[in-house]
Amino acid sequence: MLAALENARPLAGGQSLMPMMNLRYATPDHLVDLSRLAELSYIEASSPRICIGAMTRQRDLMADVDLMAACPIIAAALRHVGHIQTRNRGTIGGSLCHLDPAAELPGMMALLDATLTAKGKDGERTMAMADFPLGYMTPNLEPHEFLTAVEFDAPPKNHGWAFDEVAERTGDFAQAGCGVLITFNAEKKIDQAKLVLIGVDEDGPRRLGAVETMLTGKAPGDALFREAGAMAAAEPMAEDALVTQAYRQQIAGVLVRRCLTQAAGRAGGAA
C-alpha cells in the first residue's frame, strides 16, 4: 500500500506524526495505519536474544515483567517518554522512525546495539541501529518500507545500568540524556562499558566509543568517572535557538559521570 500511494506515510501510534499534522508541518495525502497489525506487537524477552515487534506500545514495554528483569534500563528510559496518555498509544517503531534527536528509545536501541528489521515491497532487510539514522529525523527507510521488529542481546545478568536526562519538566524533550550499561570482571575492573547520549546530536543518538574504550579495564571510581564526563563534555554538540552547545556539553558531562556512578553501584561484582 505504501508503495502504491503518493505522499503516503505509515502511521504507528501517531504520538509524533499527529502533532506535526495538526500544526501543518507534515501534510501527507495518505496515512497507512499500522496499529491494526497485531502481529507486530509482541515482546519476547525470556531468551538471551530479545525481540520486540515494532508496533509494541511504550506502555506494554514498561509493563513487561521479562523485559524488566532482563533489561531494566528500557523501562527507566520510558518513564521519561512523554506522558501516560502518549505512552498508551506511542510505539517503539514509531519512535525509532520519527527519530527525534532527543528521543529515548532510539538511544536505548543504540546503546543495546540493536538490529532493526524493515519490510517493503522488495521484502525484508535488517540493519544495525548504528546505520539507521541518515540525518536529522531521517531514518534509513525507503518510502515503501516500514519497521517490523527490533532485536538485541540481553545485557549480562549482573550488569549495572543507569539512565538520566535533563529536561525542565517531566516528559519534556531532553536537553541531554545519557544511558549507561556496565559490567565488571572478576578483578572488579570494568569489563565493558556502553554509553549513549541523546539530545546532543541532530542526527540521532550518539554512542561514546572513545569513552567506552577509555573505561575498559579500569577500576571504577570518582576520578575515572569524572574523566569520562570531561571526555563527553569535550565532544561537539548541537546548538539551537533555545539551548547552547556549551550547556549541552556541561550537562552531558554531568550525566555521564552520574550515570556511570549509579550504574557501577548497581552492577554485580562492582568495587
Partner 1 sequence: MTGDTRPRTRVSLTVNGRAVEAMVEDRFSLGDFLRRDLALTGTHLGCEHGVCGACTVLVDGEAVRGCLMLAVQADGRHVTTIEGLADADGNLSPLQQAFMDHHGLQCGFCTPGILMTLTAYINESPDADEEALRDALSGNICRCTGYDTIVQAALSVLKPKGGV
Partner 2 sequence: MVGRVFFGQSVKRLEDPDLLRGRGQFLDDIQLPGMVECAFVRSPFPHARVGAIDTSDARAVPGVIGVCTARALPDHMHGKRILLQVPSPAITNPLTQEPLATDEVCFAGEAVAVVIADNRHAAEDGAERVIVEWEPLPAVGNVADALKPGAAKTHAAMADNVAARQALGYGDVDAAFKNAAHVVRESYHTHRGTGHPMECRGVVADWDAVDQRFRIWTSTQTPHNTQRAVVDMFNLSEDAVRVITPDVGGGFGPKNQVYPEELVIPVLARMLERPVKWAEDRREHFLTTTQERDQLWDVAAAVDADGKILGIKAALIHDAGAYLPWGAIMPYISASTLPGPYVIPSYKIDATTVFTNMISTTPLRGAGRPQAVFAMERMMDAIARSLGLDPADIRARNLIPADAMPYDMGLTYRDGAPVKYDSGDYPEAQAKALHRAGYADFPARQAAALAEGRHIGIGIGNYVEGTGLGPFEGATVRVLTNGRVAIYTGAAAAGQAHKTTLAQICADELGITPDMIDVTVGDTGKMARGAGTYASRITVNAGSSVRIAAGGVAGKLKALAAAKFQVDPESLELLDGLVRITGTQGDQVSFADLAKMTSGMPGFVLPDGVAPDLEASGYFTPAQATYSNGCHVAEVEVDAETGRVKILNYVVVHDCGNLVNPKLVDGQVQGGVAHGIGNAILENMVYDADGNPLTTTFGDYLMPTAEIVPDCDIIHMQSPTPLNPLGVKGAGEGGTIPAPAAIVAAVENALKPFNIRITECPIRPQRIVQLINAAQQNT
* Contacts with partner 1, residue ranges (CB under 8 A): 11, 14-15, 18-19, 22-23, 31, 33, 35, 59, 82-86, 88-89, 169-171
Identify which of residues 49 and 79 has a Cβ nearer to partner 1 in the complex.
79
Least spacing, CB of residue 230 vs partner 2, in Å: 13
Least spacing, CB of residue 87 vs partner 1, in Å: 9
Burial of 122 (0-12, 13-18, 19+ CB in 10 A): exposed
Binding partner of 250, given partner 2, partner 1, none, CB within 5-8 angstroms per partner class: partner 2
Give how far Cα 208 sits from Cα of 62, 144, 214, 238, Å. 26, 33, 10, 15
Identify which of residues 154 and 243 has a Cβ nearer to partner 2 in the complex.
243
Judge contact between 140 and 134, C-beta under 8 A.
yes
Judge contact between 137 and 101, C-beta under 8 A.
yes
Most distant pair of Cα atoms in the chain: their distance: 60
Binding partner of 125, given partner 2, partner 1, none, CB within 5-8 angstroms per partner class: none
Least spacing, CB of residue 47 vs partner 1, in Å: 29
Cα separation of 264 and 267, whole Å? Answer: 5
Coil/strand/helix, residue 73: helix
Least spacing, CB of residue 116 vs partner 2, in Å: 27
Least spacing, CB of residue 251 vs partner 2, in Å: 5
Binding partner of 47, given partner 2, partner 1, none, CB within 5-8 angstroms per partner class: none
| Phi and psi torsions of 152, nearest 5° | -160, 160
Identify which of residues 20 and 230 has a Cβ nearer to partner 1 in the complex.
20
Residues that bind partner 2 (CB under 8 A): 19, 23-24, 166, 168-173, 175, 241-244, 246-247, 250-251, 254
Identify which of residues 186 and 241 has a Cβ nearer to partner 2 in the complex.
241
Cα separation of 32 and 259, whole Å? Answer: 39
